[in-house]
Amino acid sequence: MRAVRTPEPADLVAANVVVGRELSMTPVVPVAGFGADVAMKLETFHPTGSFKVRGALVAVAGALGRDADRPVVAASAGNHGLGVAFAADRLGARATVVVPVTPSPVKLAALERSRVRLVRRGNSYDEAERHALALAGEGAHFISPYNDPEVIAGQGTIGLELFEQVPDLSTIVAPVGGGGLLAGLALAATTVTGVRVVGVEAAMSRAFSAALDAGRVVPVEVGATLADGFAGGLVAEGSAAAALAPLLGRRITSGPGTTVVVLTGRNIAAATLARVLGH
């Protein structure tokens, strides 16, 4: 694991300038069947279909500000790569995205339509990341989807928008993978009072909680879990829709104030959506 500096509120302020300049604020809508005090923040409305474009824009802008001629490189199973591709095209950076040989078909197709240099390497994200880090060793700037202060600050701008959009906000619920989104939301929550952040982790992919329990990054076995799905009548990836699960099972109670679930992405494979809807 690379050692990086801890992001600070000042990073959040700088990130908000970049995101506000390049992206529209995503909407907050009620969740049918949950009452007036539960809503969703629709990060699915971004041009790449996922919240990860926020952190990518901030990180690419930062890299260009430090050295406009230095290329960037990222490893991704899909959404982070799409964000980096969008940011590189928007801001004029040269970018390489390394993906495993078996990524989500819909995300791979979108990456293939972009202008980035696409490299397929390894059977897992970890193997793709190792190759991306090797390319960074040759001079490129590596942008991690979670272990990067500018990426974390970029994801934290979701919280800043929610503070403006939902005056009685009390709880933000978001899915947890590598932890970049949760870290950004937690950073944002330090700038206000009375807002808690709840992370939701897939039972079959518990890398974050395992690391938290051990106090360090530890290897975990990832089981089979739904990679894509839908929620609330809106098409979404399973990792995005998972944040609704604790509310459905009443593991998280809403109120006082409004609870907002961050719906993080929509990039679902058509075959997977058809299979889910068939059930």
- In sequence order, what are the residues at sequence separation of 6 or more whose Cβ sits closer than 8 angstroms to the Cβ of residue 240? 43, 44, 175, 229, 231, 263, 264, 265, 266
Question: H or E stretch including 53?
Answer: helix 52-66
Contact criterion met (CB below 8 Å) for 18 and 58: yes
Q: pLDDT per position in the chain (279 positions), as tens? A: 688 999 999 999 999 999 999 999 999 999 877 777 999 999 999 999 999 999 999 999 999 999 999 999 999 878 999 999 999 999 999 999 999 988 778 778 888 899 999 999 998 888 999 999 999 999 999 999 999 999 999 999 999 999 999 999 999 999 988 899 999 999 999 999 999 999 988 766 667 777 777 787 767 665 554 433 334 344 455 555 566 666 655 667 666 899 999 998 876 554 443 343 355
Which is it for strands 95-99 and 38-42: parallel, antiparallel or unpaired?
unpaired
Task: Decide: residue 92, CB within 10 A, 0-12 exposed, 13-18 middle, 19+ buried.
Answer: exposed
Kindly report the pTM of this predicted structure: 0.86
Which is it for strands 234-236 and 229-231: parallel, antiparallel or unpaired?
antiparallel
Instruction: Map out the domains of the chain with their CATH numbers.
Output: 9-51+149-278 (3.40.50.1100), 53-142 (3.40.50.1100)
CA atoms within 13 A on the CB side of 222: 15
